[in-house]
């Protein structure tokens, strides 16, 4: 892995928020995007909002900066080390996912196993998985120090590391809930990634949660209201448009999931565009409302050739392939849009929402 270059001495880093979608193993593409941004080393990440696999990417990124801030007092040294340690944490996390996937791929325990898929239509995870076994939890707890994330928030922010916002869906209310600061935990991340037909709802403080994709994939509002940064880079995994009409049962179900998991995101993007238009027309007070500049890496288009079933494939060869595609996408975005950050949005929300 190449070393992360240092920022120019004395020059302030451009600030950028990250919004990371979930999408099963396709989240490895986001790993590649983040690796390209971190290798570039020229960004201050103010906030990162993630759901499901996006939440795992978010906490791994933040862990690297929190660890570096704990070890280095000088902010520039901490930033340089944070970029490198975030890359290393993400690599260990996703190679761990790939190792687990290689072991489980084709086995009766694989979520891609057709028999398990058929069982989930008739039996709940309280029957098929009564012990609530999820090997990702142990991997996550091994690679991410959540206590450090909570205690080193301010120091990590000074080093260019982000505040983290994880979205999960409250089963009782159906509303999205954001976990951040002291509430950020392995439970919160596992709740954000809890597929209702495969795992028991995750209990946190007496409430039960399912996958955050139902209510915010990812949630943009914490980046708008809880950070000072106006630029948001959305790393999108689920395609908004699907050109071919689905005909088979699996195709129809997948398109239904795509529509459902993009609905809240599209609603927030429409609201951003509405506020931008009113600000431009002088109808809102710019001291009270933020004009958000949206940017996007369209992973949905990159991943389309692999098909929906590949979201459950997590063997190491596949994970690394997605990483390479993500790195290329990240590098292309940097080349095309680096100078737009802080100046102008690079997607026309009205055409995408």
For β-strands 15-20 and 44-50, DSSP reports them as: parallel
- pLDDT bin (cut points 50, 70, 90) of residue 270 is very high
* Alpha carbon distance 183, 204 (integer Å): 10
Alpha helices in 246-298 (DSSP H): 249-280
User: Is pLDDT of 214 > 80?
Assistant: yes
* Alpha carbon distance 224, 289 (integer Å): 9
* Alpha carbon distance 63, 23 (integer Å): 21
* Alpha carbon distance 258, 238 (integer Å): 6
Tens of pLDDT, residues 309-353: 788 788 899 999 999 999 999 999 999 999 999 999 999 876 555
pLDDT at 106: 41
Per the CB < 8 A criterion, the answer to whether 160 and 82 are in contact is yes
**Range in 4-18, 25-39, 135-149 the model is least confident about:** 4-18
User: Is pLDDT of 51 > 50?
Assistant: yes
* Alpha carbon distance 205, 22 (integer Å): 24
Rg for the chain, CA atoms, rounded: 19
Percentage of the chain surpassing pLDDT 70?
A: 85
Place of tokens 């902010």: 75
- pLDDT bin (cut points 50, 70, 90) of residue 272 is very high
Average pLDDT in the 1-26 region? 74
Higher-confidence position of 265 and 112: 265
* Alpha carbon distance 3, 276 (integer Å): 39
Tens of pLDDT, residues 221-244: 999 999 999 999 999 998 777 778
* Closest CA relative to residue 163, chosen from 204, 223, 221: 223
- pLDDT bin (cut points 50, 70, 90) of residue 107 is very low
User: Is pLDDT of 20 > 90?
Assistant: yes
Q: How far is CA 105 from CA 85, 110, 142, in A?
A: 29, 6, 22
Q: Return the ∠ at Cα 328 (arms to 258 and 350), rounded to 5°.
A: 45
Integer distance in angstroms from the first to the last C-alpha of the chain? 37
Average pLDDT, the chain: 86
Tens of pLDDT, residues 163-194: 999 999 999 999 999 999 999 999 999 999 99
* Alpha carbon distance 231, 293 (integer Å): 5
| pTM exceeds 0.75 for this model | yes
317's enclosing H/E stretch is helix 316-337
Per the CB < 8 A criterion, the answer to whether 220 and 293 are in contact is no
User: Is pLDDT of 105 > 50?
Assistant: no
Tens of pLDDT, residues 33-46: 999 999 999 999 99
Tens of pLDDT, residues 284-293: 999 899 999 9
Tens of pLDDT, residues 52-81: 999 999 999 999 999 999 898 898 899 999
* Alpha carbon distance 3, 22 (integer Å): 28
* Alpha carbon distance 116, 195 (integer Å): 14
User: Is pLDDT of 154 > 90?
Assistant: no
């Amino acid at each position: 892995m190449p070393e992360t270059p240092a920022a120019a001495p004395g020059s302030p880093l451009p600030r950028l928020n990250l919004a990371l979608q979930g999408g099963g193993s396709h989240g490895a593409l986001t790993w590649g995007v983040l690796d390209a941004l971190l290798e570039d080393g020229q960004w201050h990440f103010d906030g990162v909002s993630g759901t499901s696999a996006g939440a795992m990417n978010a906490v791994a990124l933040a862990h690297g900066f929190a660890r570096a801030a704990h070890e280095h007092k000088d902010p520039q040294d901490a930033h340089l080390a944070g970029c490198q340690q975030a890359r290393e944490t993400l690599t260990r996390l996703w190679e761990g996912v790939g190792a687990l996937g290689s072991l489980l791929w084709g086995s009766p325990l694989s979520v891609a196993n057709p028999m398990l898929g058929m069982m989930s239509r008739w039996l709940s995870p309280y029957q098929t998985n009564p012990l609530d076994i999820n090997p990702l939890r142990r991997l996550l707890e091994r690679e991410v120090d959540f206590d450090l994330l909570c205690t080193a928030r301010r120091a990590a922010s000074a080093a260019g590391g982000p505040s983290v916002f994880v979205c999960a869906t409250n089963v009782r209310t159906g509303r999205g809930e954001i976990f951040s600061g002291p509430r950020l935990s392995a439970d919160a991340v596992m709740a954000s990634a809890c597929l209702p037909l495969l795992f028991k709802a995750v209990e946190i403080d007496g409430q039960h949660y399912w996958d955050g994709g139902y209510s915010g994939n990812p949630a943009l509002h914490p980046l708008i209201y809880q950070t000072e940064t106006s630029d948001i880079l959305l790393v999108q995994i689920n395609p908004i448009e699907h050109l071919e009409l689905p005909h088979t049962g699996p195709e129809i179900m997948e398109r239904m999931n795509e529509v459902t998991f993009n609905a809240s995101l599209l609603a927030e993007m429409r609201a951003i565009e509405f506020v931008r238009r009113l600000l431009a027309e002088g109808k809102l007070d710019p001291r009270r409302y933020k004009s958000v500049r949206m940017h996007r890496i369209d992973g949905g288009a990159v991943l389309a050739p692999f098909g929906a079933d590949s979201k459950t494939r997590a063997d190491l060869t596949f994970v690394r392939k997605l990483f390479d595609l993500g790195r290329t996408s990240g590098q292309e975005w940097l080349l095309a849009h680096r100078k737009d950050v802080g100046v102008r949005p690079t997607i026309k929300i009205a055409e995408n929402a």
